[in-house]
Amino acid sequence: MSTHQPPLPQAAPSAPDWQAAPGGSYPGYVSPIPVVRTNLWHAITSEWTKIRSVRSTIWTLGVFVLLVIGIGLLAGAVVSNSSSSDDLSGSNALSLGFFGLLLGSMCIITLGVLTTASEYGTGMIRTTMVACPSRARVLAAKAIVFFAVAFVITLAASAFVAMTQVSMLSDVARTPSAGEWLKGTVGVSLYVALLGLLSLIIGSVIRHSAGAITIMIGAVLAPLVIALFMFSSSLEKVRTALFEYSIPNQLSVFYSNSLGSSGPSGWDPLWIILGVTAVAFAGAYVLLERRDV
């Protein structure tokens, strides 16, 4: 007769802490990561990480600095070696910084468009909107970060060129006043940064990099090109308005060089670009809320 006993039933293993307890309730779990309500500062931090980690930002800003400083110093060297005191009598050396900034503004325009339009082209905007569903906050953060970067870089480059040109042409040009220094450095830097911010907004509206860049370059160059071929006397007022309110002429106003005497003067170009940018920002916000990502 066999004495073999059947195995005793084993107790079921205890469920891990993360599994459901009887009755469908879950044990409490406290994440080691603090949960906080997101705000504008978090969006600004995210956009700052994006803009400084993208290689195209470094290349674009590097080319911008090279153009502003290189062309500015080249113009100062040529003028100082070939001009006499009579050639620059009554003018200041700061005006020679116009050439480098006019060409370098194309880099700021391109970077502004790419800041928004590139995310739509790559599909990265979906990830951005998932992380921050507030579209107005995303647009505001992009605008703040880009404007700060563009203004600081432009101010540093334009101030360096201005100081160098004044020292190079101290014998043939007069010393700029405090107001001219302010307009030739801070004023023109604000204008270029706002022009780049307008490009960022156009990139958000168009959502296509090549298209938005083409529109902005056309806005900069088209008025001058169109006005050059308006030979009819009946179009004289239109031609004059295109000349005086074109972006290159508004940029030259900060250096006291204007194509006309009846157009913008003083700080007028800054208020004009500020108003246009504010209207474009409001339009971009409305479209961003109404359109799908």
Is pLDDT above 80 for 21? no
pLDDT of residue 26: 52
Average pLDDT, stretch 110-124? 88
Amino acid at 102: L
pLDDT in tens, 22-77: 444 456 667 787 777 778 888 899 899 989 888 888 999 999 999 999 998 898 88
pLDDT of residue 234: 83
Q: At what angle do helices 209-228 and 236-245 cross, to 10 degrees?
A: 130
pLDDT of residue 77: 83
pLDDT of residue 18: 46
Where is pLDDT greater, at 31 or 277? Answer: 277
Is pLDDT above 70 for 122? yes
Where is pLDDT greater, at 6 or 175? Answer: 175
Average pLDDT, stretch 206-222? 91
Residues ≥6 apart with Cβ < 8 Å to 40: 137, 140, 141
pLDDT in tens, 179-197: 888 998 999 999 999 999 9
pLDDT of residue 245: 87
Instruction: Classify residue 139 by burial, with Cβ atoms within 10 Å: 0-12, 13-18, 19+.
Output: buried
pLDDT of residue 129: 81
Is pLDDT above 90 for 154? yes
| % of the chain at pLDDT higher than 70 | 85
Determine the Cα–Cα distance for residues 112 and 147; give it in Å rounded to an integer: 9
6, 12, 61 from 9: Cα distances, Å: 9, 9, 74
pLDDT in tens, 85-114: 556 666 777 888 888 999 999 999 999 999
Determine the Cα–Cα distance for residues 126 and 114; give it in Å rounded to an integer: 16
pLDDT of residue 86: 56
pLDDT in tens, 224-269: 888 888 888 888 888 888 888 889 989 988 887 766 667 777 888 9
Short-list 221, 83, 102, CA closest to 158: 102
pLDDT of residue 83: 57
Mean pLDDT is lowest, of 70-79, 144-153, 200-209, for: 70-79
Average pLDDT, stretch 125-141? 85
Q: At what angle do helices 188-206 and 268-290 cross, to 10 degrees?
A: 20
| % of the chain at pLDDT higher than 90 | 35
Is pLDDT above 70 for 1? no
Average pLDDT, stretch 119-133? 82
pLDDT in tens, 4-20: 555 555 555 554 544 44
Cβ count near 281 (within 10 Å): 18
pLDDT of residue 259: 64
